[in-house]
Structure 1
């Protein structure tokens, strides 16, 4: 038997396995109707702190509360101001879900809320090898070589880079007593993943940051929120 005759069935098997794997991934992707925004959340309540010689109520505030948004100077300039407008709109909805509402007109609020968001785009996930996302004309590179669809390994310097960015995001809310400006509540939600930035994603992170408000458990906790695709 010619050597090439023994390799042909193996190559055919590799091709079929690759095809079945690809079809399986497509089916799973088509069936998935939601995606998960997993958040690491940490909150710090200080409702009973002393402020300006006056002790705030020891218990967390119950029932409807009023607030106004407060901004840093850097959040109120040019493009930053436009982005802050959108972020505060999302935060307004999230706060409404826990019974807090923005004060109307000139009515004095009980609290002030400062909200911020940060996003860092990385070329790849921190644990990934830089070579993982290089593709040749016939297959995927693996440290300087191409693995073709038939399973052959071809050494070549030619490649095409595909970028699979990875994002690290964080939202924070800081609540102060309006009269004394004493910080009474701080909360953060951090999420990492490949999802593109959307209002729905940031809304999910804000909802996660306010989970268990106003009396959250101590320490970092995982808060997962599923969103429709």
Structure 2
């Protein structure tokens, strides 16, 4: 009598398809959720001096309440040459940030009660301060410093060709200076500093300007951390 092997149900692809689809959808959802925003952490310090009893009578009498109007004021280096285009872009971002606190450009600039001077700077470093350029074991992306190579036969051997690949690190700062137009007296100053590996982009600079204007026009004393989330 011929013995037949026990019947085993065939595992068809369509029975696994819903599970694969669900896992793929979950993966995409998690990845998109993680990549939807990035955090710009800033160290901010602001100074306000809206009133000054020793100042001339043309100075403001108290903390201004929104809405207010202003005009931008530039340094000579910001008004001509290669820096002019970058200053245009920076002031456009500052205009958006100032609008959030109720300040808008005056239709007639010479009639504005306030002037705003905005500046920004970037220091590009070859690597983060905590990265060790002489690490004997691991490179910037987690590879051994002396490298690994895979031969045609599939063997892994040490190789001096795969060297450390450093990732640039940036130190950035923006500053806003507000003056009373009639007296040219500085009434508000704020700086925001950010360090990280993010590339330069409008959202990053806009977040730093938002941070510099946090708690405007009456900021707290001392240095404070202001975190801003930016959509990718």
TM-score (norm 2): 0.76
Cα distance per residue 1:8-64 (max 9 Å; x no partner): xxxxxxxxxxxxxxxxxx997554121100000100001112575337345310121
**Aligned equivalents of 2:68 and 2:185: distance in 1?**
17
Q: Aligned in 2, Cα 1:178/1:29: closer, same or farther, shift over 3 Å?
A: same
Deviation, 1:66, is 0.9
1:97 and 2:100 equivalent? yes
**Aligned equivalents of 1:60 and 1:71: distance in 2?**
24
**How many aligned residue pairs are there?**
198
Correspondent of 2:210 among 207, 210, 226: 207
**Aligned equivalents of 2:91 and 2:101: distance in 1?**
15
1:109 match: 112
Larger Rg: 2
**Aligned equivalents of 1:213 and 1:47: distance in 2?**
12
**Aligned equivalents of 2:214 and 2:89: distance in 1?**
21
2:129 match: 126
1:43 match: 46
> Is the 1:51–1:182 contact (alpha carbons within 8 Å) kept by the matching residues of 2?
no
1:141 match: 144
Farther off after superposition, 42-51 or 186-195: 42-51
RMSD: 2.7
Correspondent of 1:68 among 68, 71, 84: 71
1:186 and 2:192 equivalent? no
1:56 and 2:54 equivalent? no
Cα distance per residue 1:155-194 (max 9 Å; x no partner): 6543334231111100000000000100000000000011
Q: Aligned in 2, Cα 1:27/1:167: closer, same or farther, shift over 3 Å?
A: farther
> Is the 1:134–1:160 contact (alpha carbons within 8 Å) kept by the matching residues of 2?
no
TM-score (norm 1): 0.77
The structure where strand makes up a greater share of residues is 1
Q: Aligned in 2, Cα 1:199/1:140: closer, same or farther, shift over 3 Å?
A: same
1:34 match: 37
Q: Flag structure 2 segments of 5+ consecutive residues without an equivalent.
A: 1-27
